[in-house]
Amino acid sequence: MNKKRIRLGILGLALGLAVIFPVGGRIKAAMTVVEVKKAGQVVDSFQGVNAVYRPGKWDGDDKIYSCAALVKKYYQARYGFTPYNLFAGATPLEYDKGGKFKKVTSPKVGDIASKSTHWAIVQNVSGNNVTLLEQNWKRVVGKKTYAKSDRVVSKSEMKYFRYYDKNGKEVLNGSSSSSSSVSKPRTLSINRTSLNVKTRATATLTATIGNKRSGDTVTFSSSNKKIATVSSRGVITGVKTGTCYVTATVKGTNLSKKCKVSVSLGSRSIKLNASRLTLIKVKSYPLKGVIYNKRSNDKLKYKTSNKKIATVSSKGVVKKKKKKGTATITAWIPGTSTKKTCRVTVK
């Protein structure tokens, strides 16, 4: 084996090893290359905030996938406000709490990092190395998209901005020594993590936001609307038998909770297209019945209480007879107690 091959072998081995940096008392791998295969893929996470990506070219000003969107999401979750003015060469601004961002030369965890038009969050500082939490830092090679988790840069490569509260005290990780004006991180809880509901019946999922910000709302979604639907207020309705998940999410954040919903067949019921009929000049009327929560062998049958006043066919067609008066048409499911009636008056 010649010297060139030895050097290449050593270089390949070095590139294959993960460089590790201590982060808040834990060990975290640096600069892991990840292939982005789907929209919403979580590439990195720090302090409960996820960096999400989607395949394809750079996302510019996208409200979900841009680099600035991550910075806003992180500060909203950790500090309780949204930073603005995230443009090339600018200093971030804050309008909600009376504080301000200042440029600093020695970054700390939670600071905003910036280079030209790119923005990120400082995850860790180790000597001259800074680990970033970021979005939209990706590369497209052919039809594949790649991103980096825990990307490490040299300290001098970026500019750094730190938030100071209205009293001039620096705020890191959502707290300051002099003021409680910066909110604690949100929490989200739901009253049930699993529930059973019958078809055509309802159950309510209640979600509660802890350390709620002004304007915070919870949205609900179903993983399969053919099995169960959910309203904006968390009311779940069983549609057909099966299992799905209802997710409660704090709007504008990645904070969510899931509830497993199991739908079973509910009690039978019958609905008729008329509960009262008056036949004067009209000689017949098609009475139509629908079975809800129907079993495979269920069929509707019809009968009349007085054949001299009105008759009913096997398909539910009501015909008046010569005698005037009132008769009751009953639709029922044989072998069950489920029935529905229609009062027919013949004049």
Q: Which residue, among 54, 32, 58, has the nearest Cα to 41 in the 3D structure?
A: 54
- In this structure, the number of other CB atoms found within 10 A of the CB of residue 286 comes to 11
Residue 173: the pLDDT is: 61
Closest CA to 136 of 241, 212, 30, 61: 61
CA distances to 72, 97, 217, 220 from 22, rounded to whole Å, are 25, 33, 36, 38
Distance separating alpha carbons of residues 289 and 303, to the nearest angstrom: 13
Q: Is the domain 187-264 a CATH 2.60.40.1080 member?
A: yes
Q: Quick one: pLDDT at residue 145? A: 95
Q: How far is CA 338 from the centre of its chain?
A: 40
Distance of CA 307 to the CA centre of its chain: 59
pLDDT per residue of the chain (347 residues) written in tens, 0 to 9: 444 443 434 334 333 333 333 333 333 444 688 899 999 998 988 888 999 999 998 888 888 999 999 999 999 888 889 999 999 999 999 988 889 999 999 999 999 999 999 999 999 998 999 999 999 999 999 999 999 988 999 999 999 999 999 888 888 765 444 433 344 678 899 999 999 999 999 999 999 998 877 678 899 999 999 999 999 999 999 999 999 999 999 887 778 999 999 999 999 999 999 999 999 988 999 999 999 999 989 999 999 999 999 999 999 999 999 899 999 999 999 999 999 999 999 99
CATH of domain 269-346: 2.60.40.1080
Domain 21-171 class, CATH top level = alpha beta
Fold identical between 187-264 and 269-346?
yes
The alpha carbon torsion through 229, 235, 241, 242 (nearest 10 deg) reads 70
H-only helix segments in the chain:
3-16, 67-78
Rounded to two decimals, the pTM is 0.46
How many residues does the structure list for the chain? 347
Domain definitions of the chain by residue range: 21-171, 187-264, 269-346
DSSP-derived letter for residue 314 is T
